[in-house]
Structure 1
């Protein structure tokens, strides 16, 4: 079980919200990570490429910086089953394209704009997550 850290969670949430607001203010874009990441790949090479690259680089660099500042490794359990991780990544990518966005685009930005489509998408994400956790923990015994 992951330890709940209310202050760190609050600060993280505020930072995500601030990043989403600033991206909307400066770029006029929604902070949907799947959309930003997909536009780093060809054929997208426009004036906003540097800001997209910086946004994704910040997402990657932030935990590394915190690990370095705290002097402690990042403790995450990641599967060593590479084929399973590849399939899971493809399924998540397909879902993000099919759902016209990911949890950050719908859950953070869409809900704050009172988008009905984002409400349905976020409810779908959450119900799927709840069912998956229930099955893995209580049915499969994980």
Structure 2
């Protein structure tokens, strides 16, 4: 295994983690809501929509933060080695998984684990194992 030390940013990573933790804590303390992205977005697609404001603000922050960071400094860049078809299929499968798991990685992994939820522990372990297996199969068996 090779570690790319030029892109190793423990300070930025720690700061990002602390900010995510702070945002999650503020949302649950002030709104009584869990910061699970699938639930927040899904709540915009259901009726009645009596709590649209905070959901839109949260999603605007998710999209707006990298834009603002890019304007203030070096923009974030990610190389995705996949076709649009692969990305769409992957997104569809993630959507199905979040429905079966009653939440997404952010809801279970960040919020659920911090609350000591056994269901979130099982869901997060399942997400991780599925991710590990997917990478292994793609890199070693398919040859990606």
Aligned length: 140
- Which runs of no fewer than 5 residues in structure 1 stay unpaired? none
Is the Cα–Cα contact under 8 Å of residues 79 and 85 in structure 1 kept in the other structure?
no
Residue 38 of structure 2, aligned match among 34, 38, 62: 34
Residue 67 of structure 1, aligned match among 70, 85, 93: 70
2:89 & 2:136 partners in 1: Cα distance? 21
Q: Which residue of 2 aligns with 1:85?
A: 87
Deviation (angstroms), 1:89? 1.4
Is residue 10 from structure 1 mapped to residue 14 from structure 2 by the alignment? yes
Deviation (angstroms), 1:73? 3.3
Q: Which residue of 2 aligns with 1:49?
A: 52
1:140 & 1:88 partners in 2: Cα distance? 16
- Which runs of no fewer than 5 residues in structure 2 stay unpaired? none
Distance 1:138 1:80, change over 3 A: closer
Is residue 113 from structure 1 mapped to residue 115 from structure 2 by the alignment? yes
1:20-75 CA distance string (max 9 Å, x none):
101101110111010001112242420x21111000110111111111111x3321
2:129 & 2:13 partners in 1: Cα distance? 22
1:116 & 1:37 partners in 2: Cα distance? 24
Aligned-residue RMSD, C-alpha: 1.7
TM-score (norm 1): 0.90
Deviation (angstroms), 1:93? 0.8
